[in-house]
Amino acid sequence: MGNLQIGLALAGALVLVIMVLHGAWSSRKNLPRQAVPPVPVANPGSEPQLGQGIEPELDAAAFDVAKFPLVPIEKNSCIDPLIDVLAPIALENPVWGDAALAAMPATRRVGSKLFSIEGFQETTGRWETPHAGQRYAKLQAGVQLANRSGPLNDIEYSEFVMKTQAFCDAINGAPDFPDMREEVARARELDQFAGDHDAQLGFVVRARNAAWSPGYVQQNAARVGFVAGAIPGRMVLPASVAGLPPVLGLSFDTQAAMAEDPAQSAIRELAISLDVAQVDRGERAFERMREAAMSLADSMDGVVTDDNGLPLPIEAMDVIGEELQHLYDTLDQRDISAGSALARRLFS
What does the pLDDT look like over 291-314, one tens digit per residue?
999 999 999 999 999 988 999 999
Tell me what the pLDDT averaged over the chain comes to.
85
What would the mean pLDDT of 120-149 be, rounded to a whole number?
A: 94
Which pLDDT band holds residue 258 (cuts at 50, 70, 90)? confident
The mean pLDDT value for 234-249 works out to 95
Going through 134-268 in order, the beta strands assigned E by DSSP cover 135-136, 139-144, 146-147, 150-151, 173-175, 200-207, 227-228, 234-237, 248-251
pLDDT-wise least confident of 64-73, 182-191, 259-268: 64-73
Domains (range + CATH), the chain: 84-195 (3.30.1400.10), 198-346 (3.30.1400.10)
Decide if 34 contacts 261 (C-beta within 8 A).
Answer: no
214 CB neighbour count, 10 Å cutoff: 25
Question: Residue 31 carries which DSSP code?
Answer: S
The pLDDT of residue 203: 97
DSSP alpha helix (H) spans, 172-284? 180-196, 214-223, 254-257
**How much is the pLDDT for 52?**
37
Query: Cβ–Cβ contacts within 10 Å for residue 172, how many?
Result: 12
Asked if residue 52 lies in contact with residue 35, where contact means CB atoms within 8 angstroms, the answer is no
pLDDT at position 301, please? 96
Report pLDDT for 63: 38
The pTM for the full model equals: 0.78
Instruction: Give the model's pLDDT for residue 2.
Output: 61
By mean pLDDT, which of 210-224, 256-270, 326-340 is the weakest?
A: 256-270
Give the whole-number percent of the chain exceeding pLDDT 90.
70
Contact 222, 56 (CB under 8 A): yes
| Phi and psi angles of residue 202, each rounded to the nearest 5 degrees, phi first | -150, 135
